[in-house]
């Protein structure tokens, strides 16, 4: 058969390709890449698990390692060192000892043992260890990974049905994207080698559309191309391309998603799929800031649900502001539901930005009275108060701000904004009582944005930390054993494994003791984002009140000096940018996540767009630059710090403007009239973009926090 010939032709390809795959190779041929362990060359007979006894000289190594086996972390580290040195037989012995002596990490020791045996060309021994581990560790989260390795080992010994059963077990018990992509690729390779070409193509196709950002997807795409060329037919339908586009869209790979959607359209879709794809295309164009095209795409959709709002938003961003205002007003007129309220608020924002204050306020008043969406009602009330303030109607502004303070009773952090501007309005009236209001805000919430602003109005020193109440909820529920496991992994140098253990434990955390212990572990595992989230989410108000003596760690975890060596290198005396600003931008841009991608495609710690990164690299004299370089912390910090220095120079050291331009772009910020430095708070509050205004406040707050804490 033609498919049989194809399988035969590709057999050699797969034997070579396996050694390159991320899972340390899919089959035992990998053993040709490294030296055979000494025990595998021994003339002694193997034991019942396929292992041979070690040479006499290895007793020296074992005697040296025995003291290290008293500690599970040292034992795992000793095994890793043996693997790095190419002495896999000794690594297997050490891991066997760790598994026996330290059940707390026995599953990790077994997993590593299976990997070493498989990579050493001893799949029979790997099968025995894997099956034993699955029996001993019935509740381990590593079972899917052990099943994966068991499948590879069985496949390497020709036990195909058993291999597929093990791989299916791995898939049944894990939703982890990376593991599923690896396992599916192993299944597809096995199917193709057995001559099951169409079945293999189906599995490759699943990898290609369900895991499109994985490296396995690139291999699957290549094999699909080969098989399609051989069979002379297209195996990927419009539905497959649509599925791929949806997953790329969720992964924020916008350009690739758009290309997938266009391919889906070209191959044909059902009526329902066409409607879904058309909507996804419109949203993707909006994300890509291709607003005229987005306007056209939304116009072609049925004008139901929130589509008219998206269309009007696209028009506004295309420069058709007054046409967008008309659209929003028509939507508001035709709908009294939440879509109508939202449209009315957006119309008010656009009118406000074009100086049509009376029309804007009319919309704001209706939204404020609607009561249908508390968030927009409060936002509209704020806009009315701010319009009165800007119009120097300070008494009227105070009434709106006082109303908001009452409405946010029970939300002390939410009250800070209207409280601060109530005091500012009173100050403008020459009322000395404003100092009392500023004093209360600065005293009670010194590490908040408005606490910092209030302090600058009265030069109020931060209150003595000893006088602040301790954080509430000290009791925890995590056991010392559960916390010991990630700690052992960190000490052993298994950082990614420790990060996953902390992630799972974070779901169970209750109270300060749990959260502080987990934040410490997350920080030690270099997962600064998780450490920050663990303490920020339950202690937002506490953090705003400022550090407490003997509890300063809580604030250090909330504002860590992540990647400090590289930040310090990038902010030497010649850059004119202080490290605190880089840390603050990093915190608010990415939450210290080096591989995060924004909806519009910004990458890495300081969220740099690829064209911006390329321009910055050229300005620094770099000879090469690739978009994926932005995922490297050092590169991202270097370029981001350089960009902050450029923006600071452009705006004469005005930090608020430099920070705003980092978010909205320097051209946009240059079009906004700057106030005098003394009224910088008013300038920030007047930024026309909601997202940029909030961003500037957050970065300035974090900048203040870093200066206070360090």
Does the pLDDT at position 47 exceed 70? Answer: no
Q: What are the pLDDT digits (tens) for 413-459?
A: 999 999 999 999 999 999 999 999 999 999 999 999 999 999 999 86
Q: How much is the pTM?
A: 0.86
Gap between the Cα atoms of 178 and 210, Å rounded: 11
Does the pLDDT at position 462 exceed 60? Answer: no
Q: Tokens 């000096």 belong to which residue?
A: 561
How buried is 475 (Cβ within 10 angstroms: 0-12 exposed, 13-18 middle, 19+ buried)?
Answer: exposed
Q: What are the pLDDT digits (tens) for 329-348?
A: 999 999 988 999 999 999 99
- Say if CB 359 and CB 378 are below 8 A apart: no
Q: What is the pLDDT of residue 464?
A: 54
Gap between the Cα atoms of 289 and 79, Å rounded: 51
- Say if CB 397 and CB 425 are below 8 A apart: yes
Give kind and range of the element (H or E) at residue 535. helix 528-536
Does the pLDDT at position 648 exceed 90? Answer: yes
Residues contacting 529, CB < 8 A, separation 6+? 590, 591, 592, 593
pLDDT class for 262, splitting at 50, 70, 90?
very high
Mean pLDDT of the chain: 91
Angle between helices 88-101 and 72-84 (to 10 degrees): 170
How buried is 299 (Cβ within 10 angstroms: 0-12 exposed, 13-18 middle, 19+ buried)?
Answer: middle
- Say if CB 610 and CB 540 are below 8 A apart: no
Q: What is the pLDDT of residue 58?
A: 82
Side-chain-side CA neighbours of 587 within 13 Å: the count stands at 29
Beta bridge partners of 52: 46
Backbone angles phi, psi at 277, to 5 degrees: -65, -40
Q: What are the pLDDT digits (tens) for 599-635?
A: 989 999 999 999 999 999 999 999 999 999 999 999 9
Q: What is the pLDDT of residue 302?
A: 96
Beta bridge partners of 608: 603
Beta bridge partners of 40: none
Q: In this prediction, what percent of the chain has a pLDDT beyond 90? A: 84
- Say if CB 137 and CB 143 are below 8 A apart: yes
Does the pLDDT at position 460 exceed 80? Answer: no
- 697, two tokens: 């406040």
Question: How many degrees, rounded to 5, is the angle at CA 213 between CA 210 and CA 217?
Answer: 65
**Across residues 554-572, what is the average pLDDT?**
97
Does the pLDDT at position 41 exceed 60? Answer: no
pLDDT class for 575, splitting at 50, 70, 90?
confident
Q: What is the pLDDT of residue 370?
A: 87
Question: How many degrees, rounded to 5, is the angle at CA 518 between CA 516 and CA 524?
Answer: 105
Q: In this prediction, what percent of the chain has a pLDDT beyond 70? A: 90
Q: What is the pLDDT of residue 524?
A: 98
Give kind and range of the element (H or E) at residue 367. helix 357-370
pLDDT class for 6, splitting at 50, 70, 90?
very low
């Amino acid at each position: 058969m033609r498919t049989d010939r194809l399988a035969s032709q590709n057999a050699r390809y797969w034997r070579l390709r396996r050694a390159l795959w991320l899972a340390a190779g899919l089959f035992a041929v990998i053993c040709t890449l490294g030296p055979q362990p000494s025990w595998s060359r021994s003339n002694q007979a193997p034991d019942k698990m396929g292992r041979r006894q070690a040479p006499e000289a290895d007793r020296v190594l074992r005697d040296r390692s025995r003291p290290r086996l008293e500690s599970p972390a040292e034992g795992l580290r000793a095994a890793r060192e043996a693997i790095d040195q190419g002495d896999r037989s000794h690594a297997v012995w050490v891991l066997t000892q760790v598994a026996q002596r330290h059940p707390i990490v026995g599953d990790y020791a077994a997993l590593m043992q299976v990997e070493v045996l498989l990579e050493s060309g001893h799949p029979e021994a790997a099968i025995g260890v894997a099956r034993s581990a699955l029996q001993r560790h019935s509740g381990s989260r590593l079972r899917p990974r052990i099943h994966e390795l068991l499948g590879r080992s069985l496949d390497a010994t020709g036990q195909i049905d058993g291999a597929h059963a093990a791989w299916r077990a791995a898939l049944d018990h894990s939703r982890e994207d990376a593991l599923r992509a690896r396992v599916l690729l192993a299944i597809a390779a096995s199917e193709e080698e057995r001559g099951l070409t169409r079945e293999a193509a189906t599995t490759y196709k699943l990898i290609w559309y369900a895991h499109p950002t994985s490296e396995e997807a690139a291999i699957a795409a290549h094999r699909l191309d080969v098989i399609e060329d051989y069979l002379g037919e297209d195996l990927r339908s419009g539905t497959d391309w649509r599925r791929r586009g949806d997953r790329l869209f969720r992964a924020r790979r916008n350009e690739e998603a758009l290309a997938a959607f266009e391919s889906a359209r070209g191959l044909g879709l059902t009526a329902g799929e066409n409607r879904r794809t058309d909507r996804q295309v419109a949203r993707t164009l909006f994300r890509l800031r291709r607003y005229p095209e987005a306007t056209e795409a939304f116009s072609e959709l049925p004008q139901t649900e929130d589509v008219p709002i998206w269309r009007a938003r696209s028009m506004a961003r295309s420069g058709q502001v007054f046409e967008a205002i008309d659209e929003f007003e028509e939507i508001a007129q035709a709908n009294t539901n939440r879509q109508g309220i939202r449209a009315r608020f957006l119309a008010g924002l656009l009118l406000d930005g074009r100086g049509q204050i009376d029309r804007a306020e009319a919309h704001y008043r209706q939204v404020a009275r609607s009561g249908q969406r508390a968030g927009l009602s409060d936002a509209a009330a704020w806009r009315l108060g701010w319009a009165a303030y800007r119009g120097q109607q300070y008494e009227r502004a105070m009434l709106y701000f006082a109303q908001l303070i009452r409405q946010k009773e029970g939300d002390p952090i939410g009250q800070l904004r209207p409280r601060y501007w109530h005091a500012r309005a009173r100050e403008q009236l020459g009322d000395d009582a404003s100092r009392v209001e500023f004093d209360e805000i600065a005293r009670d919430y010194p590490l908040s944005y408005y606490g910092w602003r209030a302090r600058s109005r009265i030069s109020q020193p931060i209150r003595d930390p000893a006088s602040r109440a301790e954080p509430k909820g000290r009791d925890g529920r995590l056991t010392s054993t559960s916390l010991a496991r990630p700690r052992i992994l960190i000490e052993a140098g298994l950082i990614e494994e420790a990060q996953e253990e902390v992630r799972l434990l974070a779901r169970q955390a209750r109270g300060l003791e749990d959260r502080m212990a987990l934040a410490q572990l997350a920080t030690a595992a270099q997962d600064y984002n998780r450490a920050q989230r663990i303490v920020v989410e339950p202690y937002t108000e506490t953090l705003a009140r400022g550090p407490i003596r003997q509890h300063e760690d809580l604030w250090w975890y909330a504002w860590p000096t992540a990647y400090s060596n590289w930040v310090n290198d990038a902010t030497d005396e010649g850059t004119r940018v202080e490290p605190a600003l880089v840390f603050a931008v990093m915190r608010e841009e990415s939450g210290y996540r080096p591989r995060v991608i924004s909806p519009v495609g910004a990458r890495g710690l300081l969220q740099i767009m690829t064209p911006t990164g390329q321009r910055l690299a050229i300005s620094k004299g770099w000879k090469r630059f690739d978009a994926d370089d932005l995922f490297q912390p050092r590169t991202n910090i270097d370029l981001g710090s350089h960009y902050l220095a450029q923006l600071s120079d452009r705006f004469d050291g005005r930090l608020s403007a430099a920070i705003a331009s980092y978010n909205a772009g320097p051209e946009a910020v240059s079009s906004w009239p700057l106030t005098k430095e003394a009224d910088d708070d008013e300038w920030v509050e007047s930024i026309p973009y909601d997202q940029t205004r909030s961003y500037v406040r957050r970065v300035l707050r974090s900048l203040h926090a870093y200066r206070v804490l360090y």
